[in-house]
């Protein structure tokens, strides 16, 4: 097992994954670094990657006309950034910007999509893990919508 | 594990004692902190306890003590103005008098938490009843291992005790993680629901004792996130809020299933009230 496969396997998102699946991931992975303020991707752009954040903080933002960029969620070490690569038309729906010095692993999305089709077990495993992320973020967004802390007058 | 505080009410628990308003500090648009001086007795309390504050001629409300238990001679209580009595409290001026009964109720298990990591998780004004526990840990820092505060608020403008949060965050002997649901321009911290902080704190889930207070639904999901993280349900404590009236378990106003929040609580082991928290209607 290569160093990058071992490193991926130690991350909670990939924990317990089969070694050959980790090898597939490692094959399309590359390390990336961002400085605070660096734009990782822009809304509407090609969703050609996803990222595993190793260090640092990333803000997901929406540009609100007249109000500027609006941070809707922050992501941190150990979390996955980017799921738009999974679904057509493969376009980013938010901006992503590094808030602090950030290290991440970038996975090439077209290569991942091909690998999913060629190896259904790998594809299922990956989809299951991404679906958990999506479900957890949807639940978090719903809790945010509840406005828990508002006045009860 | 002794949940009942050492503090005992010496006077008739139904008789309010006059306290003088020493100071009233605005915290948020609808939230303020009262500093009250006793006129004829000293007061001591345990972190997590509450008093009944009586505005003469208006009415009485239960309010958690939010001050430093190591600082005698002053009763500090943070109040959100949500009705006639709390509105009247907000209209008080230094020199005015209020009636105080208590302190009442169970407290955060500070002794049981000694030797463990301590995680304090609060949401919104739920930080107020937790603040005495924070002071206690900081006053006795060598008795506890890693100390983590997880706090969530609606927006950066609605962070309770913002200045203290900043001071605590600058300390080397505790970790402070704050998240807001709605960011505004200039906010560089975390954005997202407070339960997302649970996996980020530097504490040992197998060892940690957790004190949790906030809106009911936040406590439910917060406790679930802690359980998912591996924290044992018998080391999670929650503070429940109900409409306390007599505060000594006679009137039944705060009865929650078989439990009187005023007398048996407000601080409970989560496992004892887990089912109650999930009750849809009482």
Distances (CA, A) of B230 to B204, B207, B208: 9, 10, 10
Chosen from B192, B198, B200 to mutate, greatest number of chain A CBs within 10 A = B192
Q: What is the pLDDT of residue A151?
A: 59
Nearest to B123 among A77, A149, A151 (CB): A149
Q: What is the pLDDT of residue A153?
A: 56
Nearest to A73 among B188, B191, B195 (CB): B191
What's the pLDDT tens digit per position in B84-120?
999 999 999 999 999 999 899 999 999 999 999 999 9
* Contact at CB, B185 and A153, closer than 8 angstroms: no
What's the pLDDT tens digit per position in B168-220?
999 999 999 999 999 887 888 999 999 999 999 899 999 999 999 998 888 98
Chain A touched by B195 (CB under 8 Å): yes
Fold of A30-150: Jelly Rolls (2.60.120)
A52-75 mean pLDDT = 91
* Chain B nearest C-alpha distance from A114 (Å): 32
Residue B8 has pLDDT above 90, yes or no: no
Q: Which pLDDT band, with edges at 50, 70 and 90, does B3 fall under?
A: very low
Q: What is the pLDDT of residue B10?
A: 57
* Chain A nearest C-alpha distance from B193 (Å): 6
Q: CA dihedral in degrees (B153, B159, B161, B166; nearest 10)?
A: 100
Query: Which of helix, strand or coil describes residue A16?
Result: coil
Nearest to A143 among B81, B199, B221 (CB): B221
Chain A touched by B279 (CB under 8 Å): no
Residue A92 has pLDDT above 80, yes or no: yes
Residue B225 has pLDDT above 80, yes or no: yes
Query: Which of helix, strand or coil describes residue B116?
Result: coil
Smallest CA-to-CA distance from B226 within B201, B189, B260, B191 is with: B201
* Chain A nearest C-alpha distance from B260 (Å): 22
Those residues whose C-beta lies under 8 Å from the C-beta of residue B114, and which sit 6 or more positions away, are B143, B144
Q: What is the pLDDT of residue B207?
A: 95
Chain A touched by B154 (CB under 8 Å): yes
Tell me the average pLDDT of chain A.
93
Distances (CA, A) of B152 to A72, B110, B136: 15, 23, 21
Round the CA-based radius of gyration of chain B to a whole number and report it: 18
Q: Where are the domains of chain A?
A: 30-150
Q: What is the pLDDT of residue B4?
A: 47
Q: What is the pLDDT of residue B11?
A: 67
Chosen from A59, A64, A71, A75 to mutate, greatest number of chain B CBs within 10 A = A71
Dihedral sign for Cα B256, B261, B265, B270, please: positive
The whole-angstrom separation of Cα B269 and Cα B236 is: 6
Tell me the average pLDDT of chain B.
90
Q: What is the pLDDT of residue B107?
A: 95
Query: Which of helix, strand or coil describes residue B14?
Result: coil
Residue B280 has pLDDT above 80, yes or no: no
Residues of chain A contacting B183 with CB distance shorter than 8 Å: 70-72
Residues of chain B contacting A99 with CB distance shorter than 8 Å: 188
Distances (CA, A) of B220 to A21, A148, B123, B278: 36, 12, 12, 8
Share of chain B above pLDDT 90, in %: 70
* Chain A nearest C-alpha distance from B188 (Å): 7
Question: Closest chain A residue to B184 measured between Cα atoms?
Answer: A70
Higher pLDDT, B115 or B249: B115
Chain A touched by B153 (CB under 8 Å): yes
The whole-angstrom separation of Cα B94 and Cα B89 is: 11
CA B143 to chain CA mean position, Å: 21
Residue B80 has pLDDT above 60, yes or no: yes
Q: What is the pLDDT of residue B2?
A: 44
Q: What is the pLDDT of residue B188?
A: 87
pTM for this predicted structure:
0.90
Q: What is the pLDDT of residue B243?
A: 77
What's the pLDDT tens digit per position in B37-48?
998 777 789 999
Question: Closest chain B residue to A73 measured between Cα atoms?
Answer: B191
* Chain B nearest C-alpha distance from A80 (Å): 14
Q: What is the pLDDT of residue B242?
A: 74
Q: What is the pLDDT of residue B260?
A: 83
* Contact at CB, A140 and B192, closer than 8 angstroms: yes
Higher pLDDT, B186 or A75: A75
Question: Closest chain A residue to B191 measured between Cα atoms?
Answer: A73
Round the CA-based radius of gyration of chain A to a whole number and report it: 16
Residue A89 has pLDDT above 90, yes or no: yes
């Amino acid at each position: 097992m290569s160093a990058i496969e071992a490193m991926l396997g130690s991350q909670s998102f990939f924990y317990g994954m089969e070694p050959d699946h980790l090898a597939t991931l490692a094959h399309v992975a590359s390390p990336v670094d961002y400085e605070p303020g660096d734009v990782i991707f822009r809304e509407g752009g090609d969703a050609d990657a996803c990222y595993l954040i190793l260090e640092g903080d990333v803000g997901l933002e929406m540009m609100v006309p007249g109000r500027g960029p609006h941070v809707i969620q922050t992501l941190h070490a150990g979390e996955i950034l980017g799921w738009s690569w999974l679904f057509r038309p493969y376009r980013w729906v938010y901006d992503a910007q590094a808030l602090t010095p950030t290290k991440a692993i970038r996975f090439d999305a077209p290569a991942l999509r091909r690998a999913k089709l060629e190896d259904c077990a790998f594809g299922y495993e990956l989809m299951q893990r991404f679906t958990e992320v999506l479900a957890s973020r949807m639940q978090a967004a719903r809790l945010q919508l509840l406005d828990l802390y508002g006045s009860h007058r | 594990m002794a949940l009942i505080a050492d503090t005992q009410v010496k006077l008739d628990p139904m008789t309010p004692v006059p306290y003088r308003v020493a100071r009233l500090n605005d915290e948020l648009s609808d939230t303020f902190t009262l500093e009250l001086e006793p006129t004829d007795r000293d007061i001591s309390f345990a972190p997590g306890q509450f008093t009944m504050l009586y505005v003469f001629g208006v009415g009485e409300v239960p309010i958690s003590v939010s001050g430093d238990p190591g600082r005698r001679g002053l009763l500090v209580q943070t109040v959100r103005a949500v009705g006639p009595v709390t509105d009247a409290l907000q209209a008080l001026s230094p020199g005015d008098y209020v009636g105080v009964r208590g302190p009442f109720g169970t407290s955060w298990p500070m002794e049981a938490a000694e030797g463990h990591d301590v995680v304090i998780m609060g949401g919104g004004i739920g930080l107020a009843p937790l603040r005495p526990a924070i002071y206690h840990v900081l006053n006795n820092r060598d008795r506890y291992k890693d100390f983590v505060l997880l706090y969530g608020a609606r927006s950066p403008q609605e962070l309770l005790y913002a200045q203290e949060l900043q001071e605590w965050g600058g300390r080397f002997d505790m970790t402070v993680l704050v998240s807001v649901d709605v960011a505004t321009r200039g906010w560089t911290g975390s954005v997202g629901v407070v339960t997302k902080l649970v996996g980020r704190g530097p504490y040992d889930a197998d060892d940690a004792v957790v004190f949790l207070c906030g809106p009911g639904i936040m406590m439910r999901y917060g406790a679930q996130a802690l359980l998912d993280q591996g924290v044992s349900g018998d080391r999670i404590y929650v503070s429940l809020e109900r409409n306390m009236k007599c505060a000594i378990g006679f009137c039944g106003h705060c009865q929650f299933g078989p439990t009187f929040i005023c007398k048996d609580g407000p601080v409970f082991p989560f496992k004892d009230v887990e089912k109650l928290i999930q009750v849809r209607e009482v």
